[in-house]
């Protein structure tokens, strides 16, 4: 690429009937000035392009990082959700198992209490029957004693009554 210095150092041969030297020099000075400005702008633009390329590369890296982070976060969230579901299922299963164990235990206690109640009821009826038998026997003894006493009185009256005769 042609530099402003190349333009400045360029010398033309002089010929007769050539261009007016001062006009050419003035024009070349203008060209040098404008070309130098355009040259510097071009260098600045190239630097900016390199900076933009670097920025784009950084943004792409950042985008890749964010994308990977998002995927990782989604996977982590899915793992957490699945683990929470598994844990909830385990908690529910344990609660059911414990509930069933408690129900079974209390059913057994109810059966045990029912059996105990029946045994007590049976003992009560046995005791009642035995007590009734005992009372009946006592009643019979009382009646026999009463009968024997009244018979003894009659005999006594007879014996006493016959002696007095």
Tell me the pLDDT band of 71, cut-offs 50, 70 and 90. very high
pLDDT tier at 88, thresholds 50, 70, 90: very high
Residue 163 above 70 pLDDT?
no
Rounded to two decimals, the pTM is: 0.44
pLDDT value at position 23? 80
The helix or strand, by DSSP H or E, that contains position 90, with its residue range, turns out to be: helix 21-163
Cα 137-141-142 angle, rounded to 5 deg: 115
Sign of CA dihedral 12, 14, 20, 26: positive
pLDDT at 147 over 90: no
How many domains is the chain partitioned into structurally? 1
Please state the separation of Cα 75 from the chain's center in Å: 17
Residue with tokens 């029912």: 114
Average pLDDT value for residue range 6-34: 79
The region that residue 13 occupies, defined by phi over 0 for left and psi between -120 and 50 for alpha, beta otherwise, is beta
What is residue 107's predicted lDDT score, i.e. its pLDDT? 97
In angstroms, the CA 50 to CA 56 distance is 10
Q: What is the pLDDT at residue 16?
A: 73
Could you list the residue range(s) of the whole structural domain that residue 128 is in?
Answer: 4-163
């Amino acid at each position: 690429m042609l530099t402003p210095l190349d333009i400045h150092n360029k010398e033309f041969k002089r010929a007769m009937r050539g261009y007016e030297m001062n006009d050419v020099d003035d024009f070349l000075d203008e060209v040098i000035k404008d070309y130098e400005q355009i040259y510097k702008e071009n260098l600045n633009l190239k630097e900016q392009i390199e900076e933009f390329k670097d920025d784009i590369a950084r943004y792409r890296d950042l985008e890749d990082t964010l994308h990977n982070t998002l995927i990782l976060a989604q996977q982590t969230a899915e793992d957490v959700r699945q683990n929470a579901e598994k844990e909830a299922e385990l908690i529910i299963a344990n609660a059911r198992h414990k509930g069933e164990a408690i129900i079974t235990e209390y059913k057994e206690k109810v059966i045990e209490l029912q059996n105990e109640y029946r045994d007590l009821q049976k003992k009560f009826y046995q005791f009642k029957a035995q007590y009734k038998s005992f009372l009946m026997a006592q009643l019979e003894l009382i009646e026999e004693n009463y009968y024997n006493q009244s018979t003894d009185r009659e005999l006594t009256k007879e014996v006493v009554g016959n002696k007095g005769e």
